[in-house]
Structure 1
């Protein structure tokens, strides 16, 4: 069953550009991963430090493989201390 992920990332004040640059690095490599249907990054029009990923995956197992990928570990290391909050929702399309 396909899985939808909505991930909200809030950059720390003064770290918006760093977080955005690191998030952008994830796009192409993730889109090439097995099971990735779409992986779309959005930036809030009013808050330059608020980002949302809208993702769809063929299965939860393939998404979990993505979550353990080296490029996500590199992102975490590069943004350590630069992210105020990270909220993740695993969702199912019902309509």
Structure 2
């Protein structure tokens, strides 16, 4: 029997110069909504680079594949479409299995 591993996801964003305050306010609301509403969300946390204040990393941790899939079509995730107002270029995603 194969045990299901938790899923880790990192999403790297670059934003426009001078947009930090507005971007962080947008993300504070978005991350709070995901944490409150999306089942199986263990972590959904934003980090700002100390080397480049236009670079951010979103760290996600989901209990199951099903939880991550449901998040992708959730109301909370639909609200993330507004992120395009701040970002430059495409986000870079990396997916990880989270061993016990």
Instruction: Structure 2 unaligned segments of length 5 or more: list them.
Output: none
Which of the two has higher C-alpha Rg? 2
- Cα-Cα RMSD: 1.9
Give the aligned length. Answer: 94
Whole-angstrom CA distance in 2 between matches of 1:87 and 1:46: 18
Partners of 1:15 and 1:37 in 2: how far apart?
28
Extract unaligned runs of 5+ from structure 1: none
Instruction: Report the secondary structure of 2:93's partner residue.
Output: strand
Contact 1:18 1:79 in 2 (8 A): no
Alpha-carbon offset, residue 24 of structure 1:
1.4
- 1:89 corresponds to which of 77, 86, 94: 94
What is the alpha-carbon distance in structure 2 between the residues aligned to residue 92 and residue 86 of structure 1? 20
Counterpart among 68, 75, 92 of residue 70 in structure 1:
75
The 4+ residue runs of structure 1 with deviation greater than 6 A are: none
The match for 2:34 is 30
Which residue number corresponds to residue 8 of structure 1?
12
The separation in 2 between residues aligned to 1:92 and 1:62, in whole angstroms, is 14
Deviations 1:18-76 (A, max 9, x none): 32221111222212221111222111112222111111111122112112222222221
TM-score of the aligned structures, taking structure 2 as reference length? 0.77
